[in-house]
Amino acid sequence: MAASTRAANAAASNPQGPASVGPSVDNTTLQYSMILEHLIGDKRPVKDLNPAVMGGLPVPPKSDEQKMIERGMESCAFKSLLACVGGFVLGGAFGVFTAGIDTNVGIDPKDPLRTPTAREVLKDMGQRGMSYAKNFAIVGAMFSCTECIIESHRGKSDWKNAVYSGCVTGGAIGFRAGLKAGVLGCGGFAAFSAAIEYYLR
């Protein structure tokens, strides 16, 4: 009887009872969610990954000459020139290789039974290598230039740039032989560029 009387007195002295626990629990949950937002959420501060701050070697600021060189190397003209030189070297090597395995190299069409001399074989290999080198250089420069221009215009670096560039390059080369050849060249170069991009990415 005395215990029930004390319980009644305690309930009378605390009119809110167990309901007073609710606001404190909600407040704790709200604080916890705010902490999570600052740790892993959108409000997380971006830290400066400076090597000097992290204990590594300090990186000196870039000079105006270095910035100018970087802008020049990232320009479309430099990329086109680099692709042109690379295509010239690759095309020349490919032309010399194909001429080396060709059994008809150096043979005179007027006298096919005559054995060609070493000078004639080397001359024919050089001409074929130069022809391949020029073609590869033109294709490489056109592809790189158009891809850089398209990427700069779109503001994105994805596989579509290579496909568009391949279509433009193939179409420009094929249009010299007619409209049908231009369309086929556009489709062929675009498909080839898409396959290469899919393999590389």
Instruction: Evaluate whether residue 192 is within a structural domain.
Output: yes
Label residue 42 by pLDDT band (50, 70, 90). low
Task: Read off the pTM.
Answer: 0.62
Instruction: For residue 80, give its domain range.
Output: 69-104+115-156
Instruction: Evaluate whether residue 49 is within a structural domain.
Output: no
* Exposure string over 114-147, b if 16+ CB within 10 A, otherwise e: eebeeeebeebbeebbeebbebbbbbbbbbbbbb
pLDDT higher than threshold 60 for residue 92: yes
DSSP state of 45: P
What is the per-residue pLDDT across 23-32, written as a single tens digit (0 to 9) for each? 555 666 667 6
Q: How far apart are alpha carbons 75 and 152 in whole angstroms?
A: 10
Kindly state whether residues 87 and 132 are assigned to the same domain: yes
Kindly state whether residues 193 and 168 are assigned to the same domain: yes
Kindly state whether residues 140 and 181 are assigned to the same domain: no
| pLDDT-above-90 percentage for the chain | 32
CA 105 to chain centroid, in Å, comes to 41
Residues ≥6 apart with Cβ < 8 Å to 172: 142, 182
What is the per-residue pLDDT across 161-175, written as a single tens digit (0 to 9) for each? 999 999 999 999 888
Q: What is the average pLDDT across 3-32?
A: 52
Query: In this predicted structure, what is the pLDDT of residue 2?
Result: 42
What is the per-residue pLDDT across 96-109, written as a single tens digit (0 to 9) for each? 998 888 877 777 77
Q: What is residue 78's three-state secondary structure?
A: helix
Query: In this predicted structure, what is the pLDDT of residue 12?
Result: 46
Instruction: Evaluate whether residue 151 is within a structural domain.
Output: yes
Q: Point out which residues pair with 107 in neighbouring strands.
A: none
Q: How far apart are alpha carbons 136 and 90 in whole angstroms?
A: 7
Query: In this predicted structure, what is the pLDDT of residue 51?
Result: 55
Kindly state whether residues 121 and 194 are assigned to the same domain: no
What is the per-residue pLDDT across 180-200, written as a single tens digit (0 to 9) for each? 999 999 999 999 999 988 888
Kindly state whether residues 97 and 168 are assigned to the same domain: no
Kindly state whether residues 146 and 177 are assigned to the same domain: no
Kindly state whether residues 152 and 73 are assigned to the same domain: yes
